[in-house]
């Protein structure tokens, strides 16, 4: 068990062995890694534990650089555990490189069916017992998908929880994947319009990039293909605090003059690849719609919901926008089948993803009756017009969870926990403690 020191912190590595399938505790085992962080000088104090559940799915926990970001506030009061959720980071990996060991695509899909919030929460329970004992309780902080997992935790094992804080992650308890994307596309359009109002010169620049991509095949440095649809997917950035500015700077570096005429620059292509490639988090693409699958809501499965629902919003058709002289709209947090053809990190997982999209009767992730009787202090930051999580869904869920307190704000975007330097977390702490 390695121990390291960074400015203001002491960091301890932990690795836990958990069942792949918690319904079969004696069956195959996998490893889950977590990083314990405590303020320097408090290593031997009996501090309450704060479990951090990262967004995603498929996102590894933050890699701290001393006492930075929201840890600045958390370490005043807590011993923090940064969990690499199963399949991510230093936990047993699930990638194009490792999944072939499972067998064919059907075997891989069966394996990955155990990588949703229900399994993650059961992993947390194994870890809690190992660190705190059977009767120990801890606090939970869930960001985005980590908030979804927190709601599952409140449904499955509320007796393990002292308090729960959620930021940008109150999922719709009864929302299907179709419902999620049908509500998302209008929000994505609003984020586009706000971006173009901020940077009006980007309207013509984006149209020129899409026109260029429509007339020739463009390859990214990793061998992936940059199609108009792939370029539109850069709109994922528009839901973060500085995403619009980052996108603008990317666009302004798009073209360079060569002897053969204008070409997309190496700088642009390299940066675009960094935003578009799923090499570091393939589970985000493979399982993204599965996180909404619930037997009681959508027994037929998710079936590429974002792709099907997009047809209801023709304003996102890049070719039609060029023909009509309209601004080309970027898309957002949507996963499409074509991504498994254009991204080298996903190509070998295409059949696996198809099987997961067609998988039926996903177990329910939330116990609405238990949530209605909740006794655990819960507070949530709800970001007004969050591009990734529907505000109406979040507020409906807040009403459905007994005692849940909300802070609705337009001061931050979806990444407010990280961008606020501890202010969002401080507000949530004071809410769950009844200080506000």
| 196 plus 100 within the same structural domain | no
Secondary structure (3-state) at 279: coil
Last residue of some domain: 306, 323, 358? 358
Span 309-329, average pLDDT: 97
- Furthest CA-CA distance within the chain: 71
**Model pTM above 0.85:** yes
Query: What confidence score (pLDDT) does residue 111 get?
Result: 98
Q: What is the mean pLDDT of the chain?
A: 97
CATH number of the domain that residue 91 is part of: 3.40.50.1820
Give the catalytic positions in this structure.
144, 386, 414
Last residue of some domain: 313, 340, 358? 358
- What residues make up the domain containing 387? 3-173+366-432
pLDDT for 418 beyond 90: yes
pLDDT for 103 beyond 90: yes
Span 86-93, average pLDDT: 98
Number of structural domains found in the chain: 2
| 18 plus 62 within the same structural domain | yes
Secondary structure (3-state) at 125: helix
| 79 plus 167 within the same structural domain | yes
- Contacts (Cβ under 8 Å, ≥6 apart) of 168: 55, 143, 144, 147, 381, 382, 383, 386, 388, 389, 414, 415, 416, 417
pLDDT for 347 beyond 80: yes
Query: What confidence score (pLDDT) does residue 1 get?
Result: 77
Alpha helices in 238-349 (DSSP H): 243-252, 266-276, 282-287, 305-310, 318-324, 339-342
With tokens 């559940």, the residue in question is: 53
213-248 pLDDT tens trace: 999 999 999 999 999 999 999 999 999 999 999 999
278-305 pLDDT tens trace: 999 999 999 999 999 999 999 999 999 9
Number of C-beta neighbours around residue 27 at 10 A: 10
Query: What confidence score (pLDDT) does residue 301 get?
Result: 95
Last residue of some domain: 332, 358, 384? 358
Query: What confidence score (pLDDT) does residue 167 get?
Result: 98
């Amino acid at each position: 068990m390695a121990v390291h020191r960074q400015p203001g912190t002491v960091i301890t590595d932990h690795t836990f062995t958990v069942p792949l399938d918690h319904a079969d505790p004696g069956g195959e085992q996998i490893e889950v890694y977590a990083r314990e962080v405590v303020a320097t000088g408090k290593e031997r104090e009996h501090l309450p534990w704060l479990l951090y559940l990262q967004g995603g799915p498929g996102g590894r926990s933050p890699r701290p650089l001393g006492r930075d970001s929201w840890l600045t506030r958390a370490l005043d009061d807590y011993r923090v555990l940064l969990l690499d959720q199963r399949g991510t980071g230093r936990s047993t990996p699930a990638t194009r490189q490792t999944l072939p060991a499972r067998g064919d695509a059907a075997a891989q899909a069966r394996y990955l069916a155990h990588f949703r919030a229900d399994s993650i929460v059961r992993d947390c329970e194994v870890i809690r017992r190992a660190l705190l004992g059977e009767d120990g309780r801890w606090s939970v902080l869930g960001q985005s998908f980590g908030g979804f997992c927190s709601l599952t935790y409140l449904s499955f094992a509320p007796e393990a929880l002292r308090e729960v804080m959620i930021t940008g992650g109150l999922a719709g308890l009864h929302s299907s994947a179709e419902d999620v994307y049908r509500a998302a596309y209008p929000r994505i359009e609003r984020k586009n319009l706000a971006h173009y109002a901020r940077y009006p010169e980007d309207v013509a620049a984006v149209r020129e990039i899409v026109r260029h991509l429509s007339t020739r095949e463009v390859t990214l440095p990793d061998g992936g293909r940059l199609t108009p649809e792939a370029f539109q997917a850069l709109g994922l950035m528009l839901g973060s605090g500085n995403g619009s500015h980052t996108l603008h700077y990317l666009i302004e570096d798009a073209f360079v003059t060569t002897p053969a005429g204008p070409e997309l620059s190496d700088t642009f292509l390299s940066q675009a690849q960094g935003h578009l490639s799923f090499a570091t988090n393939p589970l985000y693409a493979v399982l993204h719609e599965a996180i909404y699958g619930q037997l009681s809501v959508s027994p037929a499965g998710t079936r590429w919901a974002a792709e099907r629902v997009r047809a209801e919003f023709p304003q996102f058709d890049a070719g039609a926008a060029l023909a009509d002289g309209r601004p080309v709209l970027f898309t957002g947090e949507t996963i499409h089948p074509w991504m498994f053809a254009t991204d080298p990190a996903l190509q070998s997982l295409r059949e696996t993803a198809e099987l997961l999209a067609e998988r039926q009767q996903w177990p329910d992730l939330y116990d609405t009756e238990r949530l209605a009787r909740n006794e655990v202090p819960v507070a949530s930051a709800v970001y007004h017009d969050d591009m990734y999580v529907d505000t109406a869904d979040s507020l409906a869920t807040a009403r459905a969870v007994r005692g849940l307190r909300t802070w609705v704000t337009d001061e931050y975007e979806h990444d407010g926990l990280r961008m606020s330097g501890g202010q969002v977390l401080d507000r949530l702490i004071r809410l769950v403690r009844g200080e506000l």
